[in-house]
Amino acid sequence: MKRTFLKLSALATGTALFAQPALAAAPAAAADAVGGGTAYILNTLLFLIGGFLVMWMAAGFAMLEAGLVRSKNTSTQCLKNIGLYSIAGLMFWVIGYSIAYPGFAEGSLGLFGIAGFPYAMQGVGEADLDTGYSVASDWFFQMVFCATTASIVSGTVAERVKIVPFFIFVTVLTGIIYPVVVSWEWGAGYLDSVHGFSDFAGSTLVHSTGGWAALMGAIIIGPRAGRYGADGKVNVFPGANIPLATLGTFILWLGWFGFNGASQLAMGTVGDVSDVSKIFVNTNMAAAGGVVVAIILTQILYRKVDVTMALNGALAGLVSITAEPLAPTVGQSILIGGIGGAIVVFAVPMLDKFKIDDVVGAIPVHLFAGIWGTMIVPLTNSDASYGGQFVGVALTAVWVSLASAVVWYALKLTIGVRPSEEAEVGGLDHAEIGVEAYPEFARTT
């Protein structure tokens, strides 16, 4: 991310709802910064460590989705996840990074641009200390964020989308749609330069982008066969493996420390390292708040705790804190994450009322909680404004929704998106990739 370190340092100020610890230390002195070569090494390591933690989130998404779909579709979900991660890497190298960071000319509106492509890595043994980090480490860190956006879509449209059109959509999403949104903020484009929009690690740029793309897919593709009865009844399709889904959630929780922590973008000073540790704590506590609120609310509303709501409560808390994980106090982080958990509990049944079939609950988690997390940033970050945040949310909604709808609808009219009803009922594992489903699951809808 090409945001300046000076801009990030300002994120530590904001309105306090909760008292700060009594032993809080004074800001680190400039003398506590390391030299140029050492800072280059530490910053590069931060990007690489953060990058492989975010890459590990791909495994989390795969396990979460494989656990929440029916057994007759688990192999297909695994194939989709390893495929989309690979496609994202290729597209972000060929064109995505060049669109995300085009180097907008001074005075331009900053809505769209493109640099040279494919993206050129540094040569063997080369290092430009002026950048502050290896350009390859920066690209890698950016790429895994791009793949995360596509993973969000995979879960929502599970169990009723064919492999080929899904991969075509991922190609456009990771190569064009997502990079354009990134260019507006992290690429110093329209939202950053004109509106002062602030999104530290991607509640809107990553999560809401994936959420809007998923919502358009769910609407245009339609619900799974038999999901909604003619009498308005919602038929429950239990996930195949809740322990697997729980493992996926914990993997995502772990990966989020790289997602948010490495977005500090620097580890060359005592202050930077201290801020990374604070981001870890706030990220963890927001997730915990989301889980506890989801457990309490489902017990109150349904007289039973819903494990899938608890899992999504954790993820919603994580998404909610992602837009600003540094400035809040621990108490504020718990509150922000807790409200994210509440959003999930109320939004999941709301989608069913509109017959929008979201298999894993990705739209409430990534879209709705992403909007919430983005809009609450000015509460703790005095450099952000509610007006600027709203413009960022709205512009992202318009661009991603329109672009995604065009691609989904074009695929529907041309090669088709859905398998036949017979193939869907029998399971995509058999129909799409030739894996035999277990008979007892193949007979269910």
Q: What angle do CA 419, 213, 362 make, to 5 degrees?
A: 85
Does the residue 416 lie in any domain?
A: yes
The 10 Å Cβ neighbour count of residue 59 is 18
Q: How far apart are CA 290 and CA 342, in angstroms?
A: 7
User: Is 23 contained in some domain?
Assistant: no
- Convert the pLDDT of each residue in 20-62 to its tens digit: 333 344 454 444 777 778 999 999 999 999 999 999 999 999 9
Question: Is the bond preceding residue 223 a cis peptide, omega within 30 degrees?
Answer: no
- Give a yes or no: residue 30 inside a domain: no
Instruction: For tokens 């190569």, name the residue.
Output: 175
d(CA 51, CA 445): 39
Give the mean model confidence (pLDDT) for residues 79-92.
Answer: 98
pLDDT in tens, 131-186: 889 999 999 999 999 999 999 999 999 999 999 999 999 999 999 999 999 999 99
- The CA-based angle 119-121-124, given to 5 degrees, is 160
Query: Is pLDDT at 442 greater than 80 in this prediction?
Result: no
pLDDT digits (tens, 9 = 90+) for 335-344: 999 999 999 9
Beta bridge partners of 234: 228
Tell me which residue has tokens 């493996």. Answer: 241
Question: Is the residue at 25 inside a domain?
Answer: no
CA distance 358 to 379: 31
Contact 55, 144 (CB under 8 A): yes
Q: DSSP label at 107?
A: T
CB-CB contact of 274 with 285 (8 Å): no
Which helix (DSSP H) or strand (DSSP E) does residue 75 occupy? helix 74-91
pLDDT at 12: 34
Q: 96: which DSSP letter?
A: I
Q: Is residue 128 part of a domain?
A: no
Whether the Cβ atoms of residue 228 and residue 235 lie closer than 8 Å to each other:
yes
Is 80 within the bounds of a domain? yes
Instruction: Output the pLDDT for position 94.
Output: 94
Q: List the beta strands (DSSP E) in 77-206.
A: none
Nearest to 282 by CA among 230, 331, 333, 222: 333
Name the token pair of 154.
């995979």
Q: Which helix (H) or strand (E) holds 39?
A: helix 36-68
Helices (H) and strands (E) in the chain, counts: 20, 0
Residue 152 or residue 6, greater confidence: 152
Domain span holding position 354 = 5-10+39-118+133-442
- Select the more confidently predicted residue: 59 or 444: 59
Percentage of the chain beyond pLDDT 70 is 91
Q: Is 318 helix (H, G, I), strand (E, B) or coil?
A: helix
CATH number of the CATH domain containing 409:
1.10.3430.10
On average, the pLDDT of the chain sits at 91
Indicate whether 34 belongs to any domain: no
Q: What's residue 443's pLDDT?
A: 44
The Cα angle at residue 376 between residues 283 and 96, in degrees rounded to 5: 70
- Which ranges of 303-444 does DSSP label H, i.e. alpha helix? 307-322, 330-353, 362, 369-375, 377-380, 386-413, 421-426, 428-433, 439-442
Q: Which residues partner with 228 through β-bridges?
A: 234
Structurally, how many domains does the chain consist of?
Answer: 1
With a cut of 60, say whether residue 444 has pLDDT above it. no
Identify the residue whose tokens are 């109320």.
346
Which of the residue ranges 13-22, 267-276, 293-302, 315-324 would you say has the lowest mean pLDDT? 13-22
pTM above 0.85, yes or no: yes
Handedness of CA 307, 311, 314, 317 (dihedral sign): negative
Question: Token pair of 238, please?
Answer: 């239990």
pLDDT at 9: 35
Separation between Cα atoms, residue 18 and residue 278, nearest integer Å = 15
In a domain, residue 380? The reply is yes
3-class state of residue 70 by DSSP: coil
